[in-house]
Structure 1
Amino acid sequence: MESDATVFLYGYSAVLSALACRPQKSLMHLFCMKTRVNEIFYKDFKRRLGLMHFVLQNDERLRGVRSSHVSCGQLTQMCQSCEHDGFVLQCAAWRDNDVVTKEWCDLVHTFPPNKKIFLYPIGVRNPVNLGKIAKTCEFFDIGMLLPLKHSVRTTASAFYESDGALERISIVKTSGPPRNTLELLRENGFNIVMTVSGLNERPHCSPMSPESPCVIVLGSERNGIEKENRSLGTHELALLPPDVRQIPKQNLRVDSLNVNTAAALSIVAVQNARGKASHGLYCLKSVL
């Protein structure tokens, strides 16, 4: 059901975001479920279906998009048995025109300080993790560098897991091996933060100028960042100091974090090092 030129996106949030963010010419056909499954699901689905039709009818840009009501079984076949929430969108395969070049690096230096942080997941292989990382990037309002090769593809499942965040965040593609990209970034004044584990002392993140662009590099959960890439970092950030790796009352040790958890912790640490505390991330008050 899918080719290099066509993709079937599924899930309410992913479909709605694609309709809002993609050019009209790339949108082909919206399929909505017509089968009544159960009362609880149907009430929520009916509300979402009404909003979907409202968007199609009131956005002039989307009036050329075809829509059809099909059975739940047909939708399931289109999305290869994944959870579709009753919505599937056929559209042109997603592409991003921005690529990391010297000109792009020069342009980033003109961005506001809060727009100069990018996450670079060079070791992610699971589309589900990619989608979750995209949601984290959207929450912190930062961009993402995404390798054209040597990494996971932006599949429909990644869009589903991101709840549409992959449509909304700033994504810039990188070409060639990650080492080439890291060398280019470093030559053009980027701070490069390598997330590592296993340091022998509690680390601290050295202060960074908020005017200098920053890239946070994430490796794989199992192997981390390769040595040849790690040597190009300007900073190292250890997320698991020795005194917190031991699980209390358990004969267990934590040697790595889920890549999405690592992403969130890294972003907070870098924002603080750049002089921007993550205000609004949490609120603690006494209720006694």
Structure 2
Amino acid sequence: MEKFELHILGCGSALPTTRHFATSQVVNMRDKLFMIDCGEGAQMQLRRSKLKFSRLNHIFISHLHGDHCFGLPGLISTFGLLGRTAELHIHSPKGLEELLAPMLAFFCKTLKYQVIFHEFETKQPTLVYEDRSLTVTTIPLKHRIPCCGFLFSEKQGPNHIIRDQIDYYQVPVYELNRIKNGCDYTTPEGEVIANNVLTYPAAPPRRYAYCSDTIYRKQIVPQISGVDLLFHEATFAESELARAQETCHSTARQAAQIALDADVKQLVIGHFSARYEDEQVLLEEAKAVFEPTILAHENLCISL
């Protein structure tokens, strides 16, 4: 099975602590790296996770709060120091280019690569990236400012050839791509060999959903239904529900309820408030509703 990994670089919330870095993650899809949010220290954590800077070409920013994007200027500058020449694409809600342009013009005058900004709307799901193996679609969230999560969806792969059957029916090499893509094979004598005799299906495509920052929002359930892995913010425990509602964040119990309603396979919670020196209380609260829940922590790697 092809590589599809989630690397947690930081899982803290806005107030810095010695326990957690600000929010940032990397999805490794077949050795292509996609960063989600870029809080302070993201480039240091990228090093610690032993991920290659050169394989990161797309960054997705959920919203324009500092703990999700203050790491960008340093990362862009470091790419320049490393001699990068490949384009860097940054996808975000409207306003990021306007904010970063003066800083880049002052500190990054000699970049030998181009930083390209792509703005997206946050009110409805939007396809923001696609290649041969992956699509990335926004997940509309509700926060104090425009905010979106991201759904990473692997595309269905071609069928796998059954070599013994191919040899038995003496199928020519030039027919193999057609057969992998679902076509039957007709022998020189006119006999039709059904595709399911010659192939077996590829593994079901995998999906990862990222939802941070947001108030409890059940409207996202249909879009993330059945995903292999869900990251959902759990900034507070249920005892701080009023504070969660005031700041447009979720509790651990609410994150678990979303996972339960969406029938996801696994939940990882993060974006922890600095008030919790031990996040075990959040884990226990979530697991009481949705048992397959784990805590995010720096340099955690989850394979889908």
**TM-score, normalised by the number of residues in structure 1:** 0.28
Q: Which has the higher strand share?
A: 2
**TM-score, normalised by the number of residues in structure 2:** 0.27
Q: Which has the higher helix share?
A: 1
